[in-house]
Amino acid sequence: MCEDCFQELIYKFQTYQIFEDFEKVLQSKCNEDKLIILDKHKTDYLSAFDSNLYYECKTCREVWILNIPENAWRGFFLTEEKAIEYKKEINRLDKKRSFGCLLVLALIILAVIWNILN
């Protein structure tokens, strides 16, 4: 991170207006030739299926990932390293939630079966 790119990590955009304001700052840095847009589709064919945009700072060579907010998902703007960690954490939490839902469903089914048999 340097002064030509960004000093702060954004783990989520609180509102869409905040995202739009940030997008203007990001666009101005691209127009000033401080950041370049990377085309990950040439090297990573799976990137065509995600909503990530990749930027590289010309000064410090840091790669930034912008994940665009959509509906309840609030998006993020993180360095590549932090974005990978964040996505892994989100996936881990999603697995926990899925397991919890399955557990509740199993308990409900057992309770219904118990009531039917008794």
pLDDT per position as a tens digit, 16-62? 999 999 999 999 999 999 999 988 765 565 555 677 899 999 999 99
Burial class of residue 13 in the structure, from the number of CB atoms within 10 Å of its CB (0-12 exposed, 13-18 middle, 19+ buried): buried
What pLDDT, on a 0 to 100 scale, did the predictor assign at position 42? 59
Task: Classify residue 28: in a domain, yes or no.
Answer: yes
What pLDDT, on a 0 to 100 scale, did the predictor assign at position 5? 85
Task: Classify residue 30: in a domain, yes or no.
Answer: yes
Task: Classify residue 27: in a domain, yes or no.
Answer: yes
Domain that holds residue 30: 16-85
The structure tokens listed for 116 are 């039917």
End-to-end CA distance of the chain: 65
Task: Classify residue 49: in a domain, yes or no.
Answer: yes
Q: For the whole model, what pTM was predicted? A: 0.74
Overall domain count for the chain? 1
Q: Which range, 9-13, 42-46, 110-114, has the best average confidence (pLDDT)?
A: 9-13
What pLDDT, on a 0 to 100 scale, did the predictor assign at position 94? 84
What pLDDT, on a 0 to 100 scale, did the predictor assign at position 41? 65
Task: Classify residue 76: in a domain, yes or no.
Answer: yes
pLDDT per position as a tens digit, 54-106? 999 999 999 999 999 988 889 999 999 999 999 899 888 888 888 888 889 99
